[in-house]
Copies of this chain bind each other. A is one copy, B any other.
Amino acid sequence: MSVTRNTRSVPAYVFGQGAFAELGSLVDARRPGAALFYVDSFFQNTPLLQELPARSGDAVVLVDASREPTVEDVDALAEAARAARSGGMSLCSLVGVGGGSVLDITKAVANLLTNPGKAEEYQGWDLVKNPAVHKIGVPTLSGTGAECSRTCVLTNMRRRLKLGMNSDFTLFDQLLLDPSLTRTAPRAQFLFTGMDTFMHCFESSRGAYRNTIVDVLAASAAALCREIFLGPGDMMDDDKREKMMVASYLGGMAAGNVGLVHPFSAGLSIVLHIPHGRANCHALSVLGEFYPEESALLSEILARQKVRLPKGICADLTEDQYEALYQGTIIHEKPLANALGEDFRAILTRPKVMELFRKM
């Protein structure tokens, strides 16, 4: 094992059923100034919006997270926030309330409020130069690890890839982890997103780039996922949703060195705009020759939780689309090498990759 880089983690969390009631005091501790809340539009016309501790002068922005966030989404939101600031609004904190997409958008906008230019200029490793605006993450769906990762994944259609602003400045300053916020999540989405934790944890544990801290966190989070999705009771019982929030938080700290699932998943998201969690499941469903145990486990979980993963999603694609799927997958050299070694192209030939997509 080599020495890790200096690894940062989110410095503070409040955790527990009902923790949402503490959001006001966390924001108030940052005042004076206005808070800017980015809330998943899923919560429009729900009590959560009324319970938001927004004060006079604060702004609440509803964010459509039904599709993966793009660099353009972030640029537009950052532009609006910059305009509000030039208009005299003094920002004390950005608060992201939602799933991985809303959390990632909040992180990206916070970076752009202290760094000039467009979102895509910061997609990559350590390109963010100045510390971001203070930000608080409030996940309402568990699994992506966006609440504790140092990245925010944005789709860039011009470059035809999904890439994060990978930076210590991207980390949230504060988390509020309230499992009761995931109670209303749609069942399939709860499973697909929760399984993201399982995916990046087992991929980390299988890869070439590892360390003991990450291994232990990944194993704990993966074990929680098995318990949640295959243990007695329903995956959406209170105690299971609580465990899923913990699995996402601990597993998120173990993410980073993924394997085959994430590159195939990224291809699907780029070409077919399939959300990340479900795209992972499509990918793992055809990767049985590489991950036999985990692929079988996914089938067992889907059957047990009565969630259907559509089949034939690549049935009617054009050759251009297949080529785009191939390119959108093979570009992810680091995770592919982590899983298969530097010579991964000898295994993942163009026909092989296309055959796998055809099977989805």
Contact = CB atoms under 8 A, between A and B. Distances in A.
A8 B4 contact: no
B12 A7 contact: yes
Contact of A14 (B6, B14, B17, B250): B6
A47 interface: no
A79 B22 CA distance: 40
A11 B8 contact: yes
A182 to B, nearest CB: 13
A125 interface: no
A15 B7 contact: yes
A283 interface: no
A9 B7 contact: no
A213 B3 contact: no
B13 A7 contact: yes
A90 interface: no
16 contacts: A1-B16, A1-B17, A1-B242, A3-B15, A3-B19, A3-B21, A3-B22, A6-B13, A6-B26, A7-B14, A9-B11, A9-B12, A15-B212, A15-B213, A213-B250, A216-B220
Given A1-B17, A3-B178, A6-B12, 5 more contacts: A1-B16, A3-B14, A4-B19, A5-B14, A220-B220
